[in-house]
Structure 1
Amino acid sequence: MNDTRRVNIAKQHPASYKALTALNEEVQQTMAAVGLDPLLVELLKIRASQINGCAFCLRMHVRDALQMGESPDRIAVLPGWEETDYFSETDRAALRLTEAVTRVADGHVSDEDYNAAAAVLTEDQVSALIWLAIVMNAFNRLAIASRYTVAG
């Protein structure tokens, strides 16, 4: 990895970071209000961070998920979720939509991906899930662009 120092944009523009964290808090409250499982919410954060390659967010959300009681096996197979029986139909729909939002540059959010989520989630849950993916992707980009330190 390149050792070039980067500006920590969260510290450089604290009002912008404060606005992002306020949005994150609102989204977390919404996730709870619409009845999405907190363990699923953590898995969605992990999955977006895996796709984006954000080591800082991965470390944080894997630790959070384990502390909340998530199975190490489910976390371990998350990149291959489609190949396992560890995930419910709701989990699969949420993971699929989160991946589509995270990979929006690869073909937008297809009707197929959206409809798979809409078939098992309420409109409020779909909306909250999309907001979660948006916020998680923003945090991933903030940490990656600023090269947040992740050391052993």
Structure 2
Amino acid sequence: MAKRKTIYSVEPKAYEGMMMLEEYLNNSQLTPIHKELIKIRTSQLNGCGYCLDIHTQDAIKYGETTRRLFVLAGWQESELFTEEEQVILAMTEAVTFIHKGGISNELYAKAQQLFSEVYLAQLIMCMVTINAWNRIGVATHMKAK
């Protein structure tokens, strides 16, 4: 596989725009575990090894258990995730596979019951942002070190 230039080295202004989204998320109300579950699950679905490496390490730093990380890909068959986390993970998959219809009205209504309008908006922004990062990582063949 040929080495590719990083977006940062070629177009630092574009990378700075992505970093502004990360700064927004860092200052949001989202819990660190919610953010990392979104980032890890999205990265699993998109096959971004670079992001998986970073975000699983971050999740552990924030107190996530390895057990939950091991079963995250099969979260629907696990009782290890709260109702809120299950809704977040379902939304994450719906946003990542947006071409399959996006977030259903039923799922969105459930999210509205569990989260404030602001928190829900921030969840969606987190999902959108990590999908963009995954596409950058996969397109440029970023590798975990």
**Maintained 8 Å contact 1:10/1:142:** no
Q: Percent identity?
A: 36
Aligned equivalents of 1:123, 1:97: Cα separation in 2: 15
The count of residues paired between Structure 1 and Structure 2 equals: 145
- Structure 1 stretches (4+) deviating beyond 6 angstroms? none
Aligned equivalents of 2:67, 2:99: Cα separation in 1: 30
Structure 2 residue identity aligned to 1:78: L
Unaligned runs of 5+ in 2: none
User: What are the within-5 Å matches in structure 2 for residues 51-90 of structure 1?
Assistant: 51-90=45-84
Aligned equivalents of 1:133, 1:115: Cα separation in 2: 18
**Maintained 8 Å contact 1:44/1:98:** yes
- The superposition leaves residues 13-62 of structure 1 with CA deviations (integer Å, 9 ceiling, x where unpaired) of 001101110111112211x3xxx321122111101111111000000000
Paired position in structure 1 for 2:130: 136
Moved more, 59-68 or 4-13: 4-13
Question: Counterpart of 1:69 in 2: which secondary structure?
Answer: coil
User: What are the within-5 Å matches in structure 2 for residues 1-152 of structure 1?
Assistant: 3-30=1-28, 32=29, 36-151=30-145
What TM-score do you get using the length of structure 2 for normalisation?
0.94
The alpha carbon displacement at 1:141 in A equals 0.6
The alpha carbon displacement at 1:69 in A equals 1.3
- The superposition leaves residues 62-112 of structure 1 with CA deviations (integer Å, 9 ceiling, x where unpaired) of 011112211101111101111111111111111111111111012222212
Aligned equivalents of 2:142, 2:105: Cα separation in 1: 35
Unaligned runs of 5+ in 1: none
Aligned equivalents of 1:14, 1:133: Cα separation in 2: 23
Structure 1 residue identity aligned to 2:48: C
